[in-house]
Amino acid sequence: MSDGQQISLLSEPSPRLAEGPAALAPAPRLTSKGIAPGDIVEVDRKGRRFHALVEGIEQRETGRFDLAVRPLDGRSTWRSATVRDVVGVWRRARGSGGMRPEEA
């Protein structure tokens, strides 16, 4: 638009989401940051940052969560992290098998 006018998209009808068994809500995520097994996380452990695949989550008696992770880079040897160490999360997309980044 060359005249600088803006179009309001709020009046447009929202597209209907698919209904039925294929559109069931995913299971709720355990941690406060919404991390689940299969997600890719960016971890900061003692000043070292690395990306890792979450393989499992375990809750301590205190209520905090420990993550079993597999680093994506072979130079990192950390195999565990806490939710507090996580600085970024890329969650599994529901149906496409792709990843989408989300802020922690």
Residue 81's alpha-carbon distances to 45, 51, 52, 57, 102, in angstroms, are: 8, 11, 10, 10, 19
pTM recorded for the entire structure: 0.61
List, for residues 8-62, the tens digit of each pLDDT value: 555 555 555 555 555 566 566 666 788 989 999 999 999 999 999 999 999 899 9
Residue-level length of the chain: 104
pLDDT for 14: 54
